[in-house]
Structure 1
Amino acid sequence: MRWDVFAWAAFALLLFAAEALAPGAFMLWLGFAAAAVFLVVLLVPVQIPVLAQAAAFVLLGFASIQVYRKWFRGRERESDQPALNRRSAALVGRVVSLERAIVDGRGRVQIADAYWEVTGPELPEGAAVRIVGGDAMTLQVEQA
């Protein structure tokens, strides 16, 4: 067996293993490109220069990543809970009472066991407010 055939097979397997260890779909497509070069080098009876093999890998790698970006990347499933890891977005629409009055545009509410800073119009303590938006740990509210 020629060394270049063995090298492309090992390189393709190495890229597939790297994808298995750190999934992200990038190494997978480069592995497909290396496997394609392996098949070409294996099946073509004449010796292909190493520079031409490397150029073929680069071109096939670029093409395979473009295939992924165009046809597979946009087809990921939509989440049934898009605000799952964005707590402030998940609270939008809830009506709660102010724990601390809004003075100079800032106040505080308690939701379950967490205290949230709020911004909104001047309102007294205990007033009902509706959460209309959020940014990190600060919620935007309006009078309910």
Structure 2
Amino acid sequence: MEPQWLWLLAAVVLGIAELLVPGVFLIFLASAAALTGLATLMFGLPAAAQLLLFALLSVATVYAGRRWYVRNPLPSSDPLLNDRAARLRGETLVVVEAIENGRGRVRVGDSVWACRGPDCAIGSRVRVVGADGSCLKVTLAEPIAIEPPATGEHP
């Protein structure tokens, strides 16, 4: 089989693989293989030039595709779905390892996360105001006002 047909067949196989295992990566390699096949068909490139062209086109198509996806994010009903730290913003948590010199640990559900914020003792309640990677940024939570029981007279 001639090399240009092998490149075009590789493009089809990579395109089908993208459909079966969607990861939005193989499609760029498929387009690089298709372009390499077309260039080989038109110009009769030697094997070394084909491999070099495929490598260059692979880098170029992946780079172009990544830039396009970054500039055109898909709309989502829950944009923080895969960003657990950002989802915690506004939550009130309990300190399980005292925050000293700006660093400590807080309980998040059934796990413990590192945090940064004002010094406070174990058991203090803090509010998440942001995140830096997996380290939560916290501030002291405002105390909850508890009203004293009514001591009024009953009729």
TM-score of Structure 1 vs Structure 2, range by shorter chain: 0.5 to 0.7
SS of the aligned residue for 1:31 comes to: helix
- The one-letter code sitting in structure 2 at the alignment partner of 1:92 is R
Task: Give the alignment's TM-score, normalised by structure 1.
Answer: 0.62
Question: Which sections of structure 1, spanning at least 5 residues, go unmatched?
Answer: 42-47
Give the Cα separation in 2 of the matches to 1:83 and 1:109.
21
Instruction: Work out whether 1:133 is the aligned partner of 2:130.
Output: yes
Give the Cα separation in 2 of the matches to 1:90 and 1:76.
19
Instruction: Report if aligned partners of 1:9, 1:34 keep a CA contact under 8 Å in 2.
Output: no
Instruction: Report if aligned partners of 2:7, 2:34 keep a CA contact under 8 Å in 1.
Output: no
1:113 deviates by: 0.5
More displaced stretch, 73-82 vs 7-16: 73-82
Percentage of identical aligned residues: 26
Aligned pairs for 1:10-49 within 5 A = 10-19=6-15, 20=17, 24=25, 25-34=27-36, 36-37=38-39, 41=42
Give the Cα separation in 1 of the matches to 2:9 and 2:72.
26
1:90 deviates by: 1.8
Question: Which sections of structure 2, spanning at least 5 residues, go unmatched?
Answer: 142-155
Give the Cα separation in 1 of the matches to 2:124 and 2:76.
35
Give the Cα separation in 1 of the matches to 2:114 and 2:124.
15
Aligned counterpart for 1:142 among listed residues 128, 139, 142? 139
Indicate how the Cα distance of structure 1 residues 137 and 33 shifts in structure 2: closer, same or farther if over 3 A, else same.
Answer: closer
SS of the aligned residue for 1:14 comes to: helix
Q: Which residue matches 1:124? A: 121
- The one-letter code sitting in structure 1 at the alignment partner of 2:13 is A
Structure with greater helix percent: 1
Cα distance per residue 1:103-140 (max 9 Å; x no partner): 22222221210112222112233322111122344211
Instruction: Report if aligned partners of 2:80, 2:86 keep a CA contact under 8 Å in 1.
Output: yes
Indicate how the Cα distance of structure 1 residues 99 and 50 shifts in structure 2: closer, same or farther if over 3 A, else same.
Answer: closer
- The one-letter code sitting in structure 2 at the alignment partner of 1:118 is C
- The one-letter code sitting in structure 1 at the alignment partner of 2:121 is P
Instruction: Work out whether 1:84 is the aligned partner of 2:86.
Output: no
Aligned pairs for 1:55-74 within 5 A = 58=53, 65=61, 69=65, 73=69, 74=71
Task: Give the alignment's TM-score, normalised by structure 2.
Answer: 0.59
Instruction: Report if aligned partners of 2:28, 2:65 keep a CA contact under 8 Å in 1.
Output: no
Indicate how the Cα distance of structure 1 residues 124 and 14 shifts in structure 2: closer, same or farther if over 3 A, else same.
Answer: same
